[in-house]
Amino acid sequence: MNDDLLLTPFHLPCGQMLRNRLCKAAMTEGVADELNRATPRHATLYRRWAEGGAGLLITGNVQVDRRYLERAGNIVIEGEQTAPQRRSLEKMATAGKTGDTRIWVQLSHAGRQTPKLIANEPVGPSAVPLQLPGGRFGCPRALTADEIREVIARFAHAATVCHQTGFDGVQVHSAHGYLLSEFLSPKVNLREDEWGGPLENRARLLLECVRAVRSATSPEFAVGVKLNSADFQQGGFAFEDCLRVIEMLNQEGLDLLEVSGGTYEQPRLLQIDGLEPVFEEKVRESTRAREAYFFKYAVEARKVARMPLMVTGGFRSRSGMNEALSSGDVDVIGLGRPLCLDANFPQKILGGEIESAPDYERDLRLGPGIFGPNSSVGLLKVANGFAKIGWYYEQIYRLADGLATDPELGVWRALMAYERTEKAKAAALITT
């Protein structure tokens, strides 16, 4: 095994070179202002992450439609950009390029996973509501054919702005149950027109978005996609579908395909269980890189994929990352949560200073007592998922404020802070 694989530069089809094989995966920052513009906190955050050593940074999801956000603190790129909007994006791009790091913007449409705090009636392929307790999400309305065309144009426009403001590329978010991933799912997409039914139709929105983004930018600008290996739900987007979508994407000249999985209903992206049992097809377990819970899917994906591959989820150790790379099944290692706690984690791994990230997750669990003896287990599960995420959000805020992170932060405190901040930010949004 070549121990230096992590340090080996990687050339993307567009001609860009990544200085090593580590990528900071997309993580929503929540620090945009009341007009959903980038702020100095983004610049601080991305400078710290760029200095932290990863060859590539992918931003948290940036929305293409201000009516449908994943959370109030998202950056939005839509319509004519004002000079301050452009300047704030330029500053963020410059910060992310520190030390020859590459920075790509993750473009997304939140679809039916838009919280009620943002929109009572979100949109989706069909009027299929999320099956989650707590009333956080409204029942979506099905997009019209004209609106679907508009979504494609929005992705292309946002990519153009990213290109003009100095970012190195974009990643089209087609995973985790947001709009493009909803279209892929036969459980959520019940349409009977050219956008629903057989997989060729369900994948049309993703493919058209990728094509539109490609033709709106230049050949040197990187275009990637984040795709679910599966939704892990009975009747949902399955691994077999994923392999077929990869074959379709083979024609589109992608620079990087990131393999992930899960949705809000089944948050396997973070290895959290949803309310329903996890539905999983039989895929041969890989003996390599066991810590990376989607790696076995990447091994199979590699057999059909003609574009470079990245896999994200669970990578913590230098040996695990090197094993995955030396297998030849992936080209880039995606890292999320370890970078919320330590912006310099990649550098420490690359330099051999540490062998592995500390296991913070072990202690991130709300006790069942918190909700009283009559609380339903389902609610506790969901609350626990939100609490964990809230805990990571709080760490990102600290990084964005130039502070040290706080591994000792209590998970209950984090959940309360998360609830408070999300409400306050949503209430402060200025509608134009």
Ligand X SMILES: Cc1cc2nc3c(=O)[nH]c(=O)nc-3n(C[C@H](O)[C@H](O)[C@H](O)COP(=O)(O)O)c2cc1C
Q: Residue number with the shortest CB distance to ligand X?
A: 336
Quote the least distance from Cβ 395 to ligand X, whole Å.
8
- Of 142 and 174, the one with the shorter C-beta distance to ligand X is 174
CB closer to ligand X out of 196 and 224? 224
Look up residue 415 and give its DSSP letter. H
- Give the nearer residue to ligand X in terms of CB position, either 25 or 143: 25
Q: How far is the CB of 194 from ligand X (least distance, A)?
A: 27
Nearer to ligand X, 30 or 125 (CB): 30
Residue whose CB is less far from ligand X, 51 or 291: 291
Query: Measured from the CB atom, is 103 or 142 closer to ligand X?
Result: 103
Neighbours of 308 (CB within 10 A): 19
Nearer to ligand X among residue 172 and residue 307 (C-beta): 172
Residues 6+ apart with CB under 8 A from 215: 156
Specify whether the CB–CB gap between 180 and 172 falls below 8 A. yes
- In angstroms, what is the minimal distance from the CB of 60 to ligand X? 4
CB of 250 to ligand X, least distance (A): 22
Which of 25, 301 has the CB closer to ligand X?
25
Q: Report the SS3 class of residue 66.
A: coil
CA distance 186 to 143: 16
Where is 214: in which H helix or E strand? helix 204-216
Q: Which is nearer to ligand X, 39 or 61 (CB)?
A: 61
Closer CB to ligand X, residue 47 or residue 173?
173
Judged by the rule CB under 6 A, the positions of this chain that interact with ligand X are 25-28, 60-61, 106, 173, 175-176, 226, 260, 269-270, 312-315, 335-337, 340, 389, 392-393
CA-to-CA separations, 86 to 81, 82, 93, 182, in angstroms, rounded: 6, 6, 10, 31
User: 63: Cβ–Cβ under 8 A, 6 or more apart, which residues?
Assistant: 36, 69, 70, 74, 75, 76, 77, 78, 108, 109, 110
How far apart (Å, rounded) are the C-alpha atoms in residues 416 and 423? 11
Q: How far is the CB of 109 from ligand X (least distance, A)?
A: 12
Minimum CB separation of residue 197 from ligand X in Å reads: 27
Residue 80: CB minimum distance to ligand X, A: 25
Decide whether 105 or 142 has the Cβ nearer to ligand X.
105
Rounded Cα distance between 156 and 168, Å, is 15
User: For residue 44, what are its two tokens?
Assistant: 């601080």
Could you tell me if 153 and 125 are in contact, meaning their C-beta atoms sit under 8 angstroms apart? no
Smallest gap from residue 372 Cβ to ligand X (A): 28
- Least separation in angstroms between residue 269's CB and ligand X is 5
Answer for the pair 259, 300: CB distance below 8 angstroms, yes or no: no
Cβ–Cβ contacts within 10 Å for residue 17, how many? 11
DSSP single-letter state for residue 217? S
CA distance linking residue 399 with residue 280, whole number of Å: 36
How many Cβ atoms are within 10 Å of 15's Cβ, its own excluded?
11
Cα dihedral 230, 233, 238, 242 in deg (nearest 10):
-30
Number of continuous H segments (helices) and E segments (strands) in the chain: 13, 12
- As measured in angstroms, the least distance from the Cβ of 59 to ligand X is 8
Shortest CB 61 distance to ligand X, Å: 4
Q: Is 218 helix (H, G, I), strand (E, B) or coil?
A: coil
Q: Give me the sign of the Cα torsion angle 19, 20, 21, 23.
A: negative
